[in-house]
């Protein structure tokens, strides 16, 4: 067990070191911006993965929590001139309240029904962002969101913001790794594998599902606040149904029930649209294709799928080699 | 008090009834399970045996009647609360956690005896770490007891079916139950595995845990059970010692056929 702990800390440490070194090498603002988006998406996907990958509860409305974080931070700072950090905390509190309100009835549902309920929730929140013009600025968006600052230092450079986003995201990764490897994490996986057996083992599955829903909503809310203060302008289209689907794709591509897979999934699907920019509006088609291909050929996700393929290849090579030397 | 009193009932079902639509799965069934005994419940498919387990463990709510466990009613409790009271169970179709190791499966069984939540887990607070160590120790102890310690790190799906059944019993034992409900533990096992299982069940009883066993396999039931309840069409047909049951003319006629039991 202690060896395993050290192993985890080694992973986190080397990943953190790598992240810390990136801005020293990469000075191009565009690349740094992409890296910041990867960080924000990773935060979202790590949270969603706790809900989907571990507890096995699907959410097709996660963009709504991302949007709640972004809009609460945006409105409180741009319109009401509150300073960003308290606004971020208020955003989290509000998101928790909404998650409880939605989660308590919705998580009584399973499978397709839960998917439909969260889908509906996502659409309702999106419409609110669009129609509450007096509050959110409506479809034309909300402008004038200030940059974040720590003390008197304003984080208006991509490099400084990069460090902030990744520090928070790395912290969230550590917390998630700890949760997953604990009594609570086992209980979450138990719900996924057999809910009756989980209940018979004394797990209050209904309450645990609500808690993991709330935790993943908190991750999304913080990601939303970071997003709002980064681009300083938000509009409803960033929080629509398509973004929820994109998040689910990131979880699936990275691999269900894998924290590092979530990082990989977020990175791949954040970089991909930039690379696929030549396809314009067809990038969503490509997303759909990737999702289909991964689900059919690598239902464990790309990371695990690639490992399995490698194992298979090695096994075949060994078998082939063995038969050669034997024959 | 209860423990000192010889053969005080640990579990008591009083006039239990449950129907699904027009089907009366369990009809006015009453029985008692004395502390420290192994009670068998037999009957053909559809006799209401599994329904009875689901009523006791809170998966179903009874239409009528009451269940008393350890002197208190289980009425209105949901499964995790029943587990916390000290009733553990296995499932007819082996419900293991397939994506976990053998050890982790048993560790999940410690859930009702531990408390760490999201916060203490996320920040690895000292009491959560201590608790985690206790969980590992207890689970290891149980793997020793059921003879699976050498497979601790294997995925649970890698075990042969017979050992998966044993592992499921181990997970149930991890909750420190007073009462263990086994739903057809011998189904799918060969004769050797069934004998092995019978010995395990007796060792569990000897460790102070009361056992209720739903079973088709006559050899196991007749060998290990102190008392047997025979059900048919949701009703109690007969109740008594294995010897009485084997000789009960009503049981022989209605359920076992004309041939006497071996």
Q: Is residue A300 part of a domain?
A: no
With respect to residue A303, please indicate whether it lies within any of the assigned structural domains. Answer: no
Q: Which H or E run contains A220?
A: helix A205-231
Are both B79 and B6 inside the same structural domain?
A: yes
Please report whether residue A124 resides in a domain: yes
How many angstroms separate the CA of residue B58 from the nearest CA in chain A? 9
Write down which residue in B175, B190, B217 finishes a domain.
B175
Same structural domain, B198 and B255: yes
Cα four-point dihedral sign A239, A242, A244, A246? negative
Q: Which residue numbers in chain A have pLDDT < 70?
A: 1-7, 320-327
| Whether B78 and A1 lie within 8 Å, measured CB to CB | no
Query: Using the beta-carbon criterion (under 8 Å), do B95 and A203 form an inter-chain contact?
Result: no
Q: Nearest-CA distance from A177 to chain B in Å?
A: 8
Q: Which residues of chain B make contact with A197, given a CB cutoff of 8 A?
A: 91, 95-97, 168, 171
Contact A186 B104 (CB under 8 A): yes
Structure confidence at residue A321 (pLDDT)? 61
CA atoms of A46 and B141, how far apart (whole Å)? 35
ipTM of the complex: 0.92
- Token output for A126: 């999106």
* Angle of helix A205-231 versus helix A84-106 axis, rounded to 10: 150
Lookup: tokens for B148: 């699976």
Say whether both B143 and B204 belong to one domain. Answer: no
Q: What is the CATH number of the domain that holds B239?
A: 3.40.50.300
Instruction: Enumerate residues 6+ apart whose C-beta is below 8 A from A61.
Output: A118, A119, A120, A121, A122, A123, A125, A244
Asked whether the beta carbons of B49 and A170 are under 8 A apart, the reply is no
Distance of residue B221 Cα from the nearest chain A Cα, in angstroms:
24
Please give the pLDDT value at position B1.
Answer: 42
Torsion sign over Cα B217, B219, B224, B225: positive
Does the structure show a pLDDT above 60 at B199? Answer: yes
What residues form DSSP beta bridges with B230? B42, B238
What residue numbers bound the domain in which B131 lies? 96-175
Regarding whether B80 and B5 lie in a shared domain, the answer is yes
| B89 three-class SS | strand
Our count of domains for chain A comes to 1
SS3 A237: helix
Domain that holds residue A59: 2-282
Are the CB atoms for B67 and B44 separated by under 8 Å?
no
pLDDT-derived band at B218 (thresholds 50, 70, 90) equals confident
Specify the pLDDT at position A326. Answer: 41
d(Cα B256, Cα B258) in Å, to the nearest integer? Answer: 7
| Nearest chain A CA: its distance from B78 CA (Å) | 9
**Do residues B110 and B56 share a domain?**
no
Three-state SS at B216: coil
Distance between alpha carbon A244 and the CA centroid of its chain, in Å?
10
- Is there a domain that residue B240 lies in? yes
Give dist(CA A60, CA B220) in Å, integer: 50
Distance CA A94, CA A107 (A): 19
B152 and B74 in a common domain: no
Inter-residue contact A192 to A210 (CB < 8 Å): no
Closest by Cα among A201, A8, A35, A98 to B135: A201
B184 and B212 belong to one structural domain: yes
Residue A212 vs residues A46, A121, A180, B12: alpha-carbon distances, Å: 12, 17, 11, 38
Cβ of A199 within 8 Å of Cβ of B83? The answer is yes
The number of distinct structural domains making up chain B is: 2
CA distances in angstroms from A122 to A64, A119, A134, A224, B61, listed in the order given = 5, 5, 21, 15, 35
B20 lies in the same domain as B70: yes
- Report the CATH number that the domain containing residue A82 is assigned in CATH: 1.10.3470
The answer to whether residues B145 and B194 belong to one domain is no
Contact residues, chain A, for B132 at CB < 8 Å = 182-183
Q: Do A183 and B79 touch (CB under 8 A)?
A: no
- Which is nearest to B128 in space by CA: A64, A242, A178, A112? A178
Q: How far apart are CA B97 and CA B6, in angstroms?
A: 38
Share of residues in chain B with pLDDT > 90 (%): 80
Name every residue whose Cβ is closer than 8 Å to that of residue A280 and which is 6 or more positions away in sequence: none
Domain boundary residue, one of B175, B210, B238: B175
CA B39 remoteness from chain centre: 10
Work out the percent of chain B whose per-residue pLDDT is above 70.
94
In what order do the strands lie in the sheet containing B210-214?
B87-89, B179-183, B210-214, B38-42, B227-232, B235-240
Domain-embedded: residue A67: yes
Cβ-nearest to B118 among A1, A179, A197: A179
Residues A84/A146, Cβ–Cβ less than 8 Å: yes
Chain A CB contacts of B100 below 8 Å? 186, 189-190, 193
Rounded CA gap, A306 and A298, in Å? 8
Q: Which of B207, B226, B234 is nearest to B20 (CA)?
A: B234
Domain end point (choices B150, B175, B200) = B175
What confidence score (pLDDT) does residue A286 get? 78
Per the domain annotation, does B91 fall within a domain? no
Q: Do A202 and B132 touch (CB under 8 A)?
A: no
Q: Are residues B23 and B77 in the same domain?
A: yes
Same domain flag for B37 and B61: yes
């Amino acid at each position: 067990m202690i060896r395993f702990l050290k192993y985890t800390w080694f992973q986190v440490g080397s990943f953190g070191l790598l992240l810390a070194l990136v801005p020293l090498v990469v000075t191009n603002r565009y690349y740094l911006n992409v890296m910041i988006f990867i960080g924000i998406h990773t935060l979202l996907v790590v949270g969603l993965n706790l809900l989907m990958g571990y507890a096995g509860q699907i959410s097709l409305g996660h963009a709504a929590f991302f949007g709640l974080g972004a809009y609460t931070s945006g409105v409180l700072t741009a319109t009401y001139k509150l300073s960003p950090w308290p606004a971020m905390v208020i955003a989290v509190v509000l998101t928790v309240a909404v998650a409880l309100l939605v989660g308590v009835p919705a998580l009584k549902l399973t499978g397709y029904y839960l998917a439909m309920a969260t889908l509906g929730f996502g659409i309702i929140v999106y419409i609110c962002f669009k129609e509450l013009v007096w509050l959110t600025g409506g479809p034309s968006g909300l402008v004038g969101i200030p940059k974040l600052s720590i003390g008197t230092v304003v984080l208006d450079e991509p490099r400084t913001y990069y460090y902030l986003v990744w520090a928070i995201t790395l912290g969230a990764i550590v917390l998630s790794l700890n949760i997953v490897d604990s009594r609570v994490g086992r209980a979450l996986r138990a719900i996924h594998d057999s809910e009756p057996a989980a209940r018979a083992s004394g797990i209050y599955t209904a309450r645990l599902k609500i808690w993991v829903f709330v935790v993943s909503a908190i991750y999304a809310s913080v990601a939303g606040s970071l997003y709002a203060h980064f681009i300083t302008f938000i509009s409803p289209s960033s929080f629509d149904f398509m973004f929820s689907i994109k998040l689910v794709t990131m979880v699936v591509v990275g691999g269900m029930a894998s924290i590092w897979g979530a990082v990989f999934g977020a990175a791949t699907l954040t970089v991909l649209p930039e690379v696929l920019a030549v396809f314009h509006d067809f990038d969503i088609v490509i997303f759909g294709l990737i999702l289909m291909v991964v689900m059919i050929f690598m239902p464990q996700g790309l990371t695990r799928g690639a490992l399995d393929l490698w194992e298979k290849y090695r096994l075949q090579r060994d078998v082939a080699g063995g038969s050669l030397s034997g024959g | 008090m209860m423990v000192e009193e010889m053969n005080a009932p640990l579990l008591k079902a009083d006039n239990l009834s449950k129907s699904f639509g027009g089907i009366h799965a369990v009809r006015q069934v009453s029985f008692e399970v004395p502390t420290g005994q192994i009670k068998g419940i037999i009957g053909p498919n559809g006799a209401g045996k599994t329904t009875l387990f689901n009523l006791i463990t809170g998966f179903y709510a009874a239409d009528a009647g009451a269940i008393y466990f350890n002197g208190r009613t289980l009425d209105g409790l949901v499964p995790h609360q029943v587990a916390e009271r000290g009733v553990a169970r296995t499932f007819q179709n082996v419900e293991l956690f397939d994506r976990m190791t053998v050890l982790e499966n048993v560790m999940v069984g410690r859930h009702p005896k531990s408390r760490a939540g999201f916060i203490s887990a996320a920040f690895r607070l000292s009491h959560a770490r201590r608790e985690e160590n206790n969980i590992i120790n207890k689970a290891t102890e149980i793997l020793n007891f059921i003879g699976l310690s050498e497979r601790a790190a294997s995925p649970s799906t890698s075990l042969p079916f017979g050992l998966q059944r044993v592992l499921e019993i181990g997970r149930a034992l991890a909750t420190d139950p007073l009462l263990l409900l086994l739903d057809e533990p011998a189904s799918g096992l060969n004769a050797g595995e069934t004998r092995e299982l019978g010995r395990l069940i007796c060792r569990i009883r000897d460790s102070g845990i009361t056992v209720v066993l739903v079973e088709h396999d006559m050899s196991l039931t007749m060998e290990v059970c102190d008392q047997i309840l025979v059900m048919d069409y949701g009703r109690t047909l007969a109740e008594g010692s294995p010897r009485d049951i084997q000789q009960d003319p009503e049981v022989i006629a209605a359920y076992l056929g004309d041939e006497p039991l071996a």
